[in-house]
């Protein structure tokens, strides 16, 4: 199972890199891979029920602004 997941993530990384222009920088590649990784982590959080509703999010933002 773990190998299947890693293979899937590898394929996502490869396809992401292939979709970038030929003249992209290593920073561009790293940014895109980081962005995709954050999306995957967010989806894992949703599946695990680690989410906030709108009101909870607004409350947290107000706390951060203090």
- Who wins on pLDDT, 25 or 1? 25
Residue 32 C-alpha from the chain's centroid: 9
Res 2: pLDDT: 58
Structure tokens at 22: 């030929």
Residue position matching structure tokens 């909870």: 56
Res 66: pLDDT: 85
Decide if pLDDT at 1 tops 80. no
Rounded Cα distance, 36 and 50, in Å: 19
Over residues 4-40, the pLDDT tens digits come to 667 889 999 999 999 999 999 999 999 999 999 999 9
Confidence of residue 3 (pLDDT cuts 50, 70, 90): low
């Amino acid at each position: 199972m773990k190998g299947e997941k890693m293979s899937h993530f590898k394929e996502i990384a490869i396809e992401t890199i292939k979709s970038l222009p030929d003249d992209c920088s290593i920073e561009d590649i790293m940014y895109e891979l980081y962005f995709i990784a954050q999306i995957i982590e967010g989806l894992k959080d949703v599946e695990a029920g680690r989410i906030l509703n709108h009101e909870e999010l607004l409350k947290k933002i107000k706390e951060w602004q203090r």
